[in-house]
Structure 1
Amino acid sequence: MRPSISARHRIPLILALGFVVDHTVADQTLSGPGDCAQAGAYTICQNLWGADTGTGSQSTTLKSASGSSVAWETTYTWANSPNNVKSYANVDHNTAKGMQLQDIVSAPTSWQWNYQSADSDLRADISYDIWTGVPQSGAVASSASSYEIMIWLSQRGGVGGIGSTVAQNIQLGGHSWNLKHGPNSNWDVFSFITAEGDITNFDADLNDFFQYLIDNQGVAKTQFLQAIQAGTEPFTGSADLVTTSFSVDVSTGNEPASSSSSPPPPSSTSVHVTSSSSSVGSSSYSPGASSASNNGHSSSTTADGGSSTSSSPAEQTGGTVRGAGNPQCGLRMPGQQRMIRRSWLRSFLQ
């Protein structure tokens, strides 16, 4: 039975848990679970939100950043608590947010990645994590969140998504997906999980996924896009994951693509983030896809076939309680403060 680690610690940057660099510096090493750095149009974060549930280490190296394109590498080794996510090393677009879903005309994205090495029994996913809400802006995995939309390009070792399968073999972005839906704290989670194995060369329009949810799953078109993140969630095992190229833009038709207002690319493009823990195309959808309702409770299937109830607002914490309003990593940007974190726990078998 999955332990009730329904929350992850969100620790403000001012607590000195992490060190944030506003400009990319060649060969700069950052350490700490909440470390983040500027990466052109993105912010890259180590985000070891679940490290306390196991033992191991992880490092994330920014390889390059130019315009809306970014490349990075994440290497990790994690052991113990095989049903607990240990981290979410990710990039978060700095400006692809603040528009209503009904106003988005396109959101092209491209992600090329590969495992340079990976254990045969690796438990991990590679996924987008997209957040929407009623307010125009808000910290992810907080009271401002209405929906968490995940797109899983890889799942290994039997890990799955929150909730129940509500549709199968959906055709979107030139690929086939199974869709899970379930509640987590005050928001709902939709997980498009690859039905065809690893998708290592992904080119699609995220707006197709948004429109599918609006047309078929009751997501309000007035929801505001609050964040687009992309990264990996390891549970246990060792791997060296390389993203050779990632990009995403959002256009409302009235404004240029989001990348045009992004920060200029840095002059140097090698940032190394490291930390260790010892305690621890065009697309279409198929409206006739088969469905199964979820149980309507904040619970999830666990490794032994039992269930675990989520009771706190931000289901992803370094091991015990993921509390709302207490971000795992706070990044102070010029003129504002943004919250970088990773959502929830993920230890579910399909």
Structure 2
Amino acid sequence: MRAVYVTYYENGTYPTKTVGPKFTATWQYDQGPESQPVHAFPNAKIEINEIVNASTVQLSNLTSMPVDIAWTYGSGDVVASTLDTSGLSDLELNSNVCFDMFLDSDPDKAITTDNSTYEVMIWLGQFGLSTQPIGNTLGVKATKVVNETTFDLYDGENSNTGQKVFTWLAEGNTTDFVGNIGLLLDELSSYGGPTTSDYLGYIAFGSEALYVTKNVTFSVSELSLDLQTS
């Protein structure tokens, strides 16, 4: 079986423009080639224009990026009430849970996932030895604490796209996170990353699906993200 099943709940009117839908994804894939290990990325994409009335936001104008996230992963086809780490290990799950963002000095390129200069990822979950951030063999470049969660920074080049990839990896799976992830973006200019002149054009939250031996279910029960600007 090689399929992804996504179920959306309450996909209608939400209390604010910064609150997203609950969603789940049940999937199973065999291991892919090392050059392209990710089969799918079930996710919720944040519509930037719904928040700031523009398709992109320049980092010089971005004052804060508060998020409120809750997620789980479990074996089988149903939503797990808690993170089933032991069961997932038995199934050889290889996957992450992350924010995925793209940025560029050209706002038209910033809204694309393949033409932008920078990809910035924030991993709240990491499962399996094959699930590693780009540049992991080069070691940790920096460490940053956001609301009591410690993140380690890795960077490198995506050999398929030529993009510079920066990954903030939480030290331990963090199923509930509240904090300002804009603080992590602010750090990157010191390491050859996006600067205040660049534009943020794409944001999504989901799970990169690499492989697992039997069905697993990824669930997001809380998803809120705001872009506060000056």
Q: What TM-score bracket applies, with the shorter chain setting the length?
A: 0.7 to 0.9
Structure 1 residues 132-163: Cα deviation after superposition (integer angstroms, max 9, x where no partner) = 111123342333x0110000011111111112
Q: Give the equivalent residue in structure 2 for 1:141.
A: 113
- Residue number among 22, 36, 39 corresponding to 1:71 in the alignment: 22
Distance 1:90 1:218, change over 3 A: closer
Output the amino acid matched with 1:122.
L
Could you tell me the percent identity over the aligned residues?
22
CA contact (8 A) 1:169 1:178 kept: yes
- Structure 1: 5+ residue runs without aligned partners? 1-54, 254-350
Distance 1:128 1:113 in 2: 12
- C-alpha displacement of 1:58: 1.0
Q: Give the equivalent residue in structure 2 for 1:234.
A: 209
- 2:23 counterpart of 1:85: no
Q: Answer with 97-106 or 165-174: which moved more.
A: 165-174
Distance 1:105 1:181, change over 3 A: same
Map 1:1-350; keep pairs closer than 5 Å. 56-65=2-11, 66=14, 67=16, 68-69=18-19, 70-81=21-32, 83=34, 84-95=37-48, 97-117=55-75, 119-120=88-89, 121-138=92-109, 139-143=111-115, 145-158=116-129, 159-163=131-135, 164-184=138-158, 185-195=161-171, 197-237=172-212, 238-253=215-230
CA contact (8 A) 1:82 1:235 kept: no
Distance 2:10 2:207 in 1: 18
Structure 1 residues 160-184: Cα deviation after superposition (integer angstroms, max 9, x where no partner) = 1112334254323421122111112
Distance 2:203 2:8 in 1: 18
**The structure with more helix, counted as a fraction of residues:** 2
Output the amino acid matched with 1:100.
Q
CA contact (8 A) 1:137 1:224 kept: no
Instruction: Give the secondary structure class of the aligned counterpart of 1:64.
Output: coil
Distance 1:202 1:82, change over 3 A: farther
CA contact (8 A) 1:58 1:74 kept: yes
Distance 2:69 2:8 in 1: 15
Distance 1:240 1:82, change over 3 A: farther
CA contact (8 A) 1:64 1:72 kept: no
Distance 2:143 2:186 in 1: 17
Output the amino acid matched with 1:232.
S
CA contact (8 A) 2:95 2:207 kept: yes
Structure 1 residues 3-56: Cα deviation after superposition (integer angstroms, max 9, x where no partner) = xxxxxxxxxxxxxxxxxxxxxxxxxxxxxxxxxxxxxxxxxxxxxxxxxxxx61
Instruction: Give the secondary structure class of the aligned counterpart of 2:208.
Output: strand
- C-alpha displacement of 1:131: 0.8
Distance 1:208 1:231, change over 3 A: same
- Structure 2: 5+ residue runs without aligned partners? 76-86
CA contact (8 A) 2:133 2:154 kept: yes
Distance 2:31 2:164 in 1: 28
TM-score (norm 2): 0.78
Matched residue count: 197
CA contact (8 A) 2:32 2:39 kept: no
Distance 2:126 2:200 in 1: 25
Distance 2:147 2:121 in 1: 14
Q: Give the equivalent residue in structure 2 for 1:48.
A: none
Distance 1:168 1:105, change over 3 A: closer
Higher alpha-carbon Rg? 1
